[in-house]
Chain A
Amino acid sequence: GDSVTQMEGPVTLSEEAFLTINCTYTATGYPSLFWYVQYPGEGLQLLLKATKADDKGSNKGFEATYRKETTSFHLEKGSVQVSDSAVYFCALEDTGGFKTIFGAGTRLFVKA
């Protein structure tokens, strides 16, 4: 079945450092891909998405490009802030279209 694999955390960075969180997926079709963010004690918020190959999703300085050839959707940000500390989940839309399949999450700590 469809699945998502993302790099294990925690990732600890200093403020203004460059961020990459790797995500690869396995799917039988061409699913939509998502990054969600979860702040402590809260639910998930959609951060960005891409619906087809070579699409780039972007929001709040974060970017990710849908790479069909490498089945990847890596999350990047050029300069992280303390307020970016959270857990980040890579996800894909199940090819049946009914549910979202999540990776295990990557916890990010940003130090001032």
Chain B
Amino acid sequence: NAGVMQNPRHLVRRRGQEARLRCSPMKGHSHVYWYRQLPEEGLKFMVYLQKENIIDESGMPKERFSAEFPKEGPSILRIQQVVRGDSAAYFCASSLSRGGLDEQFFGPGTRLTVL
């Protein structure tokens, strides 16, 4: 059973470009979480999604960031008009049921570098 998959593993963008990060949860998991890790810091929650629904986006910046988890296909975290401060590692996690009831399994992360 494959784990959580994220791609790309490394992404380089210039300021003003768009970044798209993909996350395929573990098979059978319908709950997806996105976290951001700045250098030398812990992970900060961004958003929690179930299929086709955003449940909690309290950690998402109000502008330029969006997330979706369509009925078919991976979850996408989209960052428009990237700035240098967006450089970070972005981790996706998935769980079988709501976070707290079931363990969250983490992907290997996407390391975004904004030039």
Residues on A facing B (Cβ under 8 Å): 4, 31-32, 36, 41-46, 49, 89, 93-94, 96-105
Contacts and interface: CB of A to CB of B under 8 A. Distances in A.
A45 B91 CA distance: 12
Given A43-B4, A98-B55, A105-B40, 14 more contacts: A4-B42, A42-B108, A43-B106, A43-B109, A93-B99, A93-B100, A94-B45, A94-B99, A94-B100, A99-B33, A100-B45, A101-B45, A102-B35, A105-B42
A105 B41 contact: yes
A55 B57 CA distance: 31
Interface of A, helix, strand, loop or mixed by DSSP: loop
Interface residues of B, number: 26
Contacts of A103: 42
Nearest to A45: B106
A92 B84 CA distance: 30
B44 interface: yes
Contact of B100 (A32, A41, A105): A32
Nearest to A97: B100
A41 B35 CA distance: 16
Contacts of A41: 108
B115 interface: no
A100 B104 contact: yes
Contacts of A36: 106
Contacts of B41: 104-105
B107 interface: yes
A42 to B, nearest CB: 6
Contacts of B4: 43
B91 A98 contact: no
Interface in B99-114: 99-101, 103-109
